[in-house]
Every structure is written in structure tokens, then in C-alpha cells.
Amino acid sequence: MELPYKSALVTGGARGLGAAITRRLTATGTAVWIADLRVDMLTELCDELETTGSIATPLPLDVRNADRVAEAVEGICDEAGSLDILINCAAIDVSKPIEHLTPDEVSQVITTNLVGPINLCLATYRRMIDHGSGHIVNILSTASLRTWPEAGPYAASKAGLRAFTHTLFQEARRDCIGVGVTGIVAGGSGSPAHLDRFPETDTWTTKHPDVVADTVMYALSVPPGSALPEVVVVPRTETSWP
């Protein structure tokens, strides 16, 4: 697949969904900056991609730090000339009954899953508008549409990000027809992070991270003049859908 883009930033890109998306992007010749806090995994993935001739740069980054995010985006634009693709994939979860949650746990989830992607969008969107093209993809969750016990902060963060994504899509359509915005509502994944958190999960009810990565690539390949504001991709056996 060929894309009309040359540079990308993938947050949470060192493992699971983020790593799958990164591999798909680098396979097209796109230069990818992989943002994550897990430096060992960043290094391992970049070393792997280097053996295939792909262009991947590790970027240790806490998406909650707005100043650091702005510096990172500026650095990418200085080096690449522009940032064409932003994939907001970084996310965490604390699965507990609400009565046992601490304020710090709630803050960690909300700032990582909602404030973090917004920080990235704020640092990136205006640059894309000025450049006349680009695409922002926010990885959502079925929890952004419906919820279940012990998913309070996570569901709230993803529902908030979905609302923000819809607003950004409307503004991009107004501000610059060349800038795309897509929210991907992803169902249960067989990613390491999910299986580590829920080891009792029946993998029959999950999908491979590559399925989400392929969906991202489809969103990025939609022809000019068309838009894919939101897409839902879930396993046929998804337990939280419909």
C-alpha cells in the first residue's frame, strides 16, 4: 500500500496495537517516530525495524506533559519538514470497583487516555492546517460507546476522547479539506497489554492487533474528498458489543 504521507508519530508505539501500527506504517516507507515511556521496548522495536531497512526513531515521551509533547512535535517537523500522520494509541487502565479507586488512579487514566491525546492534537493540528494536509487517528474503544463494571475511568476517558475526535473532525472539515480525522472504535484485542491485565481472557473473543493496524491503514488511504470520521472494528465474538 502506498500512502500520500512521509512522516508519522505513533504514541504507545512500542508494544501491542501501537507496535502493529508502526510496523504497517514503516512497511510503506513512512518514517515513524515511536513515542513511549518503555525505553527498552522502544529500542528493541527500532532495532527490529532497522534490520528491514525501515526508518524508525525512538522517542521517549510522556504524553501527559504538554510542554514535552510540543517540543517533540516541533523536533519532528524540523527534521522531517512536516508531521503528516499522528496516531494516538497510548492508553492505560485501572480495573477496579469505583468504591476502591483512588483519586491518583483516576487522574493517571484520564490524563494519559484523554489529556495526552488532546496535547498531541493541539501540538499537531495547526501545523497540519498550515501545511495543507495530514491525518490524525485516535484509537478509541468499545468503552467509548458502552461500559461495564470496573471500567469507570477508562470508559470516561475514551468517551471523552471520542467526543473530542468528533469535534476535531468537524473543525478540520471547516479549516482544511486536506486534513483528515478518524476515530477507531477498537474492540477486544489479543495484545500483550490486554492479556497481561486480563490473563483469564478467552482469546477466541479477541482480535489480533494487526486487524486494528490494517484498519488504520485503510483510514489513511481514503481518497481525497472522502472521509472516514469513525469506524468500529470488533471480533465477531466481542463480549462488549453490541
Active-site residue, from 5, 125, 154, 218: 154
Q: Domain spanning 7-233 has what CATH number?
A: 3.40.50.720
CA 196/CA 200 separation, integer angstroms: 9
pLDDT value, residue 193: 64
Residue whose C-alpha cell is 491518583: 104
CA 40/CA 34 separation, integer angstroms: 12
Q: Give residue-wise pLDDT tens across range 186-202.
A: 988 766 666 666 666 66
Single pTM value for the model = 0.94
Residue 154 is among the residues annotated as catalytic for this protein: yes
pLDDT value, residue 220: 98
Q: Give residue-wise pLDDT tens across range 211-226.
A: 999 999 999 999 888 9
- β-pairing verdict for 85-88 and 7-11: parallel
Average pLDDT on 142-156 reads 95
pLDDT surpasses 70 at 36: yes
Q: Nearest to residue 242, comparing CAs of 145, 111, 139, 120?
A: 145
> Are 188 and 205 a contacting pair, CB within 8 Å?
yes
Q: Where are the domains of the chain?
A: 7-233
CA 236/CA 120 separation, integer angstroms: 32
Q: Give residue-wise pLDDT tens across range 9-24.
A: 999 999 999 999 999 9
State the average pLDDT for the chain: 94
